[in-house]
C-alpha cells in the first residue's frame, strides 16, 4: 500500500469573478509549481478553470491560498470544486486562451499605479526610471484602452507598440510581474509624451514633463492627457491661474477638483479621517469630498462658497512625475467646455480646448473610451458615490437574482446606462447631461462599446417615462427590442433595493430635483410603496407651480415667490424678507401673473425645489450656476439643530399630500425675527427628518412595511441622509441607503433594468 502522502487526487476548480487580465493565471501557475502540483490553468467563458493533481494536503493548501491571497486586482466571486479521476499530468502549464472562450468574463477597470511600479519610476537604476507609462499586471490602464475582447494586446490601443526584446521577455515569463501585462512598455518601445503650444506647434524640450511643470509654476493652463481623458490643469495655489481657467472654461462657480502628491500635502488644506485616507489611497483613486481646513491655503476660486473640496491622489505615473514635490495641489478638471464630454483624442483636444489651454501635454497611447474621475463622499462611515466612473467601471453591481439581457438608458442628467447579464448589472461610466449632440454621440458609443466588450445583445430596453428625453427617443427607435418605460422615482427606489439585494416591498423616499411623473407632472418629493414591478404613490409634497418651468430651476427666487404666494397670496410682498427687496416690482408682478393665470407654470412636488425656495428666501442664493447649487449651499449653511421644530402637516386623502405651508410660515417668521440663516437651515433640515419619519410610521401602520429605501439626488445632502437614517433607525425601521451606485440620477439605470426585468417576467 502507498503512503497517504503520495496518493494522487484530482480536482477541477471553476473560478468566477474578475480573474482575467489581472495576473490570475500566473498567480495560479506560481502557486501550483511551488506546491509541486501538476495540471493546467485556462481562461474559460466565465472565468478561469484549474485542473490540479497531487496529494490532498497540497491541494488543500492551494485552495486556501486561492481564497486568502489572490492577486490584488482579482475579485473572486465563486469557486466550484469538482472531484475527478487523475489524468496523469506531468507538469503544470498555462493553456493559451481561445478567442471564443472569453466572451463572458469580467473586465478589469483602470487601476492606479502600484507600489512596485512607483518604486521603479523613481529608481535611478531602473530602466523605466521617469517613464510615464510604467505599468504591470497589478496596475495600469484596462477599460479605457480596450477596443474588443479578449483582453489581449492586439485588442487594445497598445497594439501600435511592438515590445522590445526586454519587455517581451518580461511578458513571456510567468514568474515576472509583467507576465501577460498587456500594456507593458518601456522608454525604448512604448508610448511617449510630447508638449505642444496652443498653435499645435511641438515644443522642443529634453523633458516635456519638466517643461510642463515650469509652465504650471508660471500660472499657465495646461491640458494634460490622462487615463480616461484630458484634464485641464493649473496650480491650485495660484488664484489668477484658477480664475483664468474658470473664465476660459465658462465654469463660473462649480467646484474644481484638485490632485495632491500625497496625504501629507492634502493635510495642509483639508481635514482627513481614516476612512477618507483609505478611500483616497484605494487603487480606484476617486475624487473624495473633504472638509476644508480653517487655514485653507488653496486659491479661493477652487471651491468657492463651499466648505468642502474634492481631492484625489495621483493615479498614473505621469501624474506622479508632474506632482512630485512641486505643488501642494494642482487643479485637475475635466478637459471640456462646460458640460461637453471630456476630450480624449489629441486632435479633438486641440480643437476643443484651444481657447482654454496654453499648452498641451499629450501622448500617443489612444484612449478608446473616455471615463471621467469618480467622485465620492464618506457619510456615516460609508462610501457614497456622487459619480461612479473611472476605477469602478466596468465592475458590475452584483445582484441577488439573474436578469434577462437588458439595456437601461438612464435619465437625462448625469446619465449612465446599464447592461445586464445574469446576476451582473454593468453600469456605464459617467456620460453626462444628455442635452447636446456631443453627449448623445458619446451615449450611443458607450452603448455600442459595452455591448461589444461584454458580449451582451439586449432583448429588452428600459427608459424613462419623460417623452422628450434623448434617452427615451433613443429607446423608442430600438424597435427590435421590447420597450419598457419606467417611472423616474420608482427607478431610484429600485436601484437602492437592488444594490441592497432586497426584493420585498419597501417604503421608498425618493427625493430629487425633477422626474417625470405618471400623471405628467414633475415629481420629486415622493413617498412610494415600491415593489420591483410596480409602485403606489403613498404620499408626496403638495404641488406648487414652477413659474417659468426650467427657468425656475436656474432662478430659485421664482420658487421662493411661488411658495410664498401659496401661503400668503398677493400679500406676500408685505413680508419683511430681505430677498424681496432685491427683486424689482415688475418681475414680481410677472411671477404672480404667471402663477395666477397658470402660464408656463408646471406643477411640481419636488423636494429639491423646496430646498431651492427656502435657500432663496434666506437670501442664500437667488440664481444658480449649476443644478442643485442653492440646495447645496443651504446644506452648507446649516448648523446642527436640536431645538423645537417648525410645524408640519399633511392631508388625510390618498395619496397623502404633505403641506409645505406650515414650514414656510415658520421659516418666514424666523427670518422676520432676524434668526440667522444657519439656524433656520438647521431647523428646516431637522423638521424634514422628523416629518418624514412620522409619515413613515403612519405608512408602516397601514401597510406593515418596516423597510425604508432612501434614494434620489437630495440624498447627496449628508445632513439629510445621515439624520433621516438615524431617526428612522431609532424608530425601528430597517433603512436601505446607497453605497454601490449614486443616489442621484447616475444610479437610475440600475433601477430601470431591474424593474424592466420584473415587468417582463410578470408578463408585461
Residues binding Fe ion (CB under 5 A): 512, 515, 745
> Which part of the chain contacts Zn ion (CB under 5 A), choosing from 56-64, 156-164, 216-224, 561-569?
156-164
Backbone angles phi, psi at 14, to 5 degrees: -105, 115
Q: Distance (Å, rounded) from C-alpha 19 to C-alpha 73?
A: 8
- According to DSSP H, which parts of 282-395 are helical? 317-323, 346-353
Per CB under 5 A, 73 contacts Zn ion? no
Least distance in Å: CB of 443 to Fe ion? 17
Residue 715 CB coordination number (10 Å): 26
Least distance in Å: CB of 498 to Zn ion? 34
Residue 692 CB coordination number (10 Å): 25
**186 or 710: CB nearest Zn ion:** 186
**367 or 418: CB nearest Fe ion:** 418
753 binds, among Fe ion, Zn ion, none (CB under 5 to 8 A by kind): none
Strands 656-659 and 649-650: antiparallel
590 binds, among Fe ion, Zn ion, none (CB under 5 to 8 A by kind): none
**58 or 512: CB nearest Fe ion:** 512
Least distance in Å: CB of 325 to Zn ion? 22
> Which part of the chain contacts Zn ion (CB under 5 A), choosing from 77-85, 131-139, 272-280, 543-551?
131-139
In the sheet with 92-94, reading across from the earlier edge strand, the strands are 75-84, 9-18, 47-54, 38-44, 92-94
C-beta of residue 753 within 8 angstroms of C-beta of residue 463:
no
Least distance in Å: CB of 709 to Fe ion? 14
Strands 406-408 and 460-464: parallel
**Cell 422628450 sits on residue:** 468
Least distance in Å: CB of 710 to Fe ion? 13
Cis-peptide into 150, omega within 30 deg: yes
**226 or 515: CB nearest Fe ion:** 515
Per CB under 5 A, 114 contacts Zn ion? yes
Per residue, the 3-state secondary structure of 175-198, as one string, reads CCCCCCCCCCCCCCCCCCEEEEEC
**58 or 499: CB nearest Fe ion:** 499
745 binds, among Zn ion, Fe ion, none (CB under 5 to 8 A by kind): Fe ion
- Cβ neighbours of residue 563 closer than 8 Å, sequence gap 6 or more: 544, 610, 613, 617, 660, 664
| Residue 662, C-alpha cell as written in the block | 406650515
> Which part of the chain contacts Zn ion (CB under 5 A), choosing from 178-186, 555-563, 634-642, 666-674?
178-186
Least distance in Å: CB of 492 to Fe ion? 6
Kindly state the number of chain residues that form the binding site for Zn ion, as judged by CB under 5 A. Answer: 10
With vertex at residue 260, the alpha carbon angle to CA 356 and CA 301, rounded to the nearest 5 degrees, is 50
- Cβ neighbours of residue 221 closer than 8 Å, sequence gap 6 or more: 232, 233, 234, 241, 244, 245, 248, 356, 357, 358, 359
Least distance in Å: CB of 185 to Zn ion? 6
Q: Distance (Å, rounded) from C-alpha 38 to C-alpha 299?
A: 61
Least distance in Å: CB of 315 to Zn ion? 12
* Binding-site member from 136, 290, 663, 686 for Zn ion (CB under 5 A): 136
186 binds, among Zn ion, Fe ion, none (CB under 5 to 8 A by kind): Zn ion
Least distance in Å: CB of 431 to Zn ion? 29
Question: Cα torsion for 332, 336, 342, 345, to the nearest 10°?
Answer: -100
114 binds, among Fe ion, Zn ion, none (CB under 5 to 8 A by kind): Zn ion
| Residue 228, C-alpha cell as written in the block | 480616461
Residue 476 CB coordination number (10 Å): 13
**366 or 512: CB nearest Fe ion:** 512
Least distance in Å: CB of 136 to Zn ion? 3
**136 or 386: CB nearest Zn ion:** 136
Torsion sign, CA atoms 178, 183, 184, 186: negative
Least distance in Å: CB of 578 to Fe ion? 32
Per CB under 5 A, 22 contacts Zn ion? no
Least distance in Å: CB of 118 to Zn ion? 8
> Which part of the chain contacts Zn ion (CB under 5 A), choosing from 164-172, 250-258, 303-311, 634-642?
164-172
> Which part of the chain contacts Zn ion (CB under 5 A), choosing from 163-171, 217-225, 385-393, 642-650?
163-171
**188 or 441: CB nearest Zn ion:** 188
**86 or 187: CB nearest Zn ion:** 187
Point out the residue whose Cβ comes nearest to Fe ion: 512
- According to DSSP H, which parts of 584-625 are helical? 585-596, 607-617
* Binding-site member from 117, 233, 234, 714 for Zn ion (CB under 5 A): 117
Least distance in Å: CB of 170 to Fe ion? 48
**164 or 690: CB nearest Zn ion:** 164
**58 or 745: CB nearest Fe ion:** 745
* Binding-site member from 129, 188, 218, 448 for Zn ion (CB under 5 A): 188
512 binds, among Zn ion, Fe ion, none (CB under 5 to 8 A by kind): Fe ion
* Binding-site member from 121, 139, 399, 510 for Zn ion (CB under 5 A): 139
Least distance in Å: CB of 712 to Fe ion? 5
* Binding-site member from 76, 189, 590, 718 for Zn ion (CB under 5 A): 189
- Give long-range contacts, CB 8 A cutoff, 24+ apart: 147-150: 147/368, 148/452, 148/453, 149/102, 149/103, 149/105, 149/107, 149/452, 149/453, 149/455, 150/20, 150/43, 150/97, 150/99, 150/102
Least distance in Å: CB of 65 to Zn ion? 21
Per CB under 5 A, 167 contacts Zn ion? yes
Question: Cα torsion for 727, 733, 734, 737, to the nearest 10°?
Answer: -40
**121 or 736: CB nearest Fe ion:** 736
189 binds, among Fe ion, Zn ion, none (CB under 5 to 8 A by kind): Zn ion
**181 or 233: CB nearest Zn ion:** 181
> Which part of the chain contacts Zn ion (CB under 5 A), choosing from 181-189, 270-278, 610-618, 699-707?
181-189
C-beta of residue 331 within 8 angstroms of C-beta of residue 251:
no
- 239-278 residues in contact with Zn ion (CB under 5 A) are none
**181 or 695: CB nearest Zn ion:** 181
C-beta of residue 506 within 8 angstroms of C-beta of residue 709:
yes
**469 or 650: CB nearest Fe ion:** 469
Instruction: Determine whether 83 is exposed, middle or buried from the number of CB atoms within 10 Å of its CB (0-12, 13-18, 19+).
Output: exposed
Per-residue DSSP letter, 620: S
Cα 456 to the center of its chain, rounded Å: 22
Contact residues: Zn ion, CB under 5 A: 114, 117, 136, 138-139, 164, 167, 186, 188-189
Amino acid at each position: 500500500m502507498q503512503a497517504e502522502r503520495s496518493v494522487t487526487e484530482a480536482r477541477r476548480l471553476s473560478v468566477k469573478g474578475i480573474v482575467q487580465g489581472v495576473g490570475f493565471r500566473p498567480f495560479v501557475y506560481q502557486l501550483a509549481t511551488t506546491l509541486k502540483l501538476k495540471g493546467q490553468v485556462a481562461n474559460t467563458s466565465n472565468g478561469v478553470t484549474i485542473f490540479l493533481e497531487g496529494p490532498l494536503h497540497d491541494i488543500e493548501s492551494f485552495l486556501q491560498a486561492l481564497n486568502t491571497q489572490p492577486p490584488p486586482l482579482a475579485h473572486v466571486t465563486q469557486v466550484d470544486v469538482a472531484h475527478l479521476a487523475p489524468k496523469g499530468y506531468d507538469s503544470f502549464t498555462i493553456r493559451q486562451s481561445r478567442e471564443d472562450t472569453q466572451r463572458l468574463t469580467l473586465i478589469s477597470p483602470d487601476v492606479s499605479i502600484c507600489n512596485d511600479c512607483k518604486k521603479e519610476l523613481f529608481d535611478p537604476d531602473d530602466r523605466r526610471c521617469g517613464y510615464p507609462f510604467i505599468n504591470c499586471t497589478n496596475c495600469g490602464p484596462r477599460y479605457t484602452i480596450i477596443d474588443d475582447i479578449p483582453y489581449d494586446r492586439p485588442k487594445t490601443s497598445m497594439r501600435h507598440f511592438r515590445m522590445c526584446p526586454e519587455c517581451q521577455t518580461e511578458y513571456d515569463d510567468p514568474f515576472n510581474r509583467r507576465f501577460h501585462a498587456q500594456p507593458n512598455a518601456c522608454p525604448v518601445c512604448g508610448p511617449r509624451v510630447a508638449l505642444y503650444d496652443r498653435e499645435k506647434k511641438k515644443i522642443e524640450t529634453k523633458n516635456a514633463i519638466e517643461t510642463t511643470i515650469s509652465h504650471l509654476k508660471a500660472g499657465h493652463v495646461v491640458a494634460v492627457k490622462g487615463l480616461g481623458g484630458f484634464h485641464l490643469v493649473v496650480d491650485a495655489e495660484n488664484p489668477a491661474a484658477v480664475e483664468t481657467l474658470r473664465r476660459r472654461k465658462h465654469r463660473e462657480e462649480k467646484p474644481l477638483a484638485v490632485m495632491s502628491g500625497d496625504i501629507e500635502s492634502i493635510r495642509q488644506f483639508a481635514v482627513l479621517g481614516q476612512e477618507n485616507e483609505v478611500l483616497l489611497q484605494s487603487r480606484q483613486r476617486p475624487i473624495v469630498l473633504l472638509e476644508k481646513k480653517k487655514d485653507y491655503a488653496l486659491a479661493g476660486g477652487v471651491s468657492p462658497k463651499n466648505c468642502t473640496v474634492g481631492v484625489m491622489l495621483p493615479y498614473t505615473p505621469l501624474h506622479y512625475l508632474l506632482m512630485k514635490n512641486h505643488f501642494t495641489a494642482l487643479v485637475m478638471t475635466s478637459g471640456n467646455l462646460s458640460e461637453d464630454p471630456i476630450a480624449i483624442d489629441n486632435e479633438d483636444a486641440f480643437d476643443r480646448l484651444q481657447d482654454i489651454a496654453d499648452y498641451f501635454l499629450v501622448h500617443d497611447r489612444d484612449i478608446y473610451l473616455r471615463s471621467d474621475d469618480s467622485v465620492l463622499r464618506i457619510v456615516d462611515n460609508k462610501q457614497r458615490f456622487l459619480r461612479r466612473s473611472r476605477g469602478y467601471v466596468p465592475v458590475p453591481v452584483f445582484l441577488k437574482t439573474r436578469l434577462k439581457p437588458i439595456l437601461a438608458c438612464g435619465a437625462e442628467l448625469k446619465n449612465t446606462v446599464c447592461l445586464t447579464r445574469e446576476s451582473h448589472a454593468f453600469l456605464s461610466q459617467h456620460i453626462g447631461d444628455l442635452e447636446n449632440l456631443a453627449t448623445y454621440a458619446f451615449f450611443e458609443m458607450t452603448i455600442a462599446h459595452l455591448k461589444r466588450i461584454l458580449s451582451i445583445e439586449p432583448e429588452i430596453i428600459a427608459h424613462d417615462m419623460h417623452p422628450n428625453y434623448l434617452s427615451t427617443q433613443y429607446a423608442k427607435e430600438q424597435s427590435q427590442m421590447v420597450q419598457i418605460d419606467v417611472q423616474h422615482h420608482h427607478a431610484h427606489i429600485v436601484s437602492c433595493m437592488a444594490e441592497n439585494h432586497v426584493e420585498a416591498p419597501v417604503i421608498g423616499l425618493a427625493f430629487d430635483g425633477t422626474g417625470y411623473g405618471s400623471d405628467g407632472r414633475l415629481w420629486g418629493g415622493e413617498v412610494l410603496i415600491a415593489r420591483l414591478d410596480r409602485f403606489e404613490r403613498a404620499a408626496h409634497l403638495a404641488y406648487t407651480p414652477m413659474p417659468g418651468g426650467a427657468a425656475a430651476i436656474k432662478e430659485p427666487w421664482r420658487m421662493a415667490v411661488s411658495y410664498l404666494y401659496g401661503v400668503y397670496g398677493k400679500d406676500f410682498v408685505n413680508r419683511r424678507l430681505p430677498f424681496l427687496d432685491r427683486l424689482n416690482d415688475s418681475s414680481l408682478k410677472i411671477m404672480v401673473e404667471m402663477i395666477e393665470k397658470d402660464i408656463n407654470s408646471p406643477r411640481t412636488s419636488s423636494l429639491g425645489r423646496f430646498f431651492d425656495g427656502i435657500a432663496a428666501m434666506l437670501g442664500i442664493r437667488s440664481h444658480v450656476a449649476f443644478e442643485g447649487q442653492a440646495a447645496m449651499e443651504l446644506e452648507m449653511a446649516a448648523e446642527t439643530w436640536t431645538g423645537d421644530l417648525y410645524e408640519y402637516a399633511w392631508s388625510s386623502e390618498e395619496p397623502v399630500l404633505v403641506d409645505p405651508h406650515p414650514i414656510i410660515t415658520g421659516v418666514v417668521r424666523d427670518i422676520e425675527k432676524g434668526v440667522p440663516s444657519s439656524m433656520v437651515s438647521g431647523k428646516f433640515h431637522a423638521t424634514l427628518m422628523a416629518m418624514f419619519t412620522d409619515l413613515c410610521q403612519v405608512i408602516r401602520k397601514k401597510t406593515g412595511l418596516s423597510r425604508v429605501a432612501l434614494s434620489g439626488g437630495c440624498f447627496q445632502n449628508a445632513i439629510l441622509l445621515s439624520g433621516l437614517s438615524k431617526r428612522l433607525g431609532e424608530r425601528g425601521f430597517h433603512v436601505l441607503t446607497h453605497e454601490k451606485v449614486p443616489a442621484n440620477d447616475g444610479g437610475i439605470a440600475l433601477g430601470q433594468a431591474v424593474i424592466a426585468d420584473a415587468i417582463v417576467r410578470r408578463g408585461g
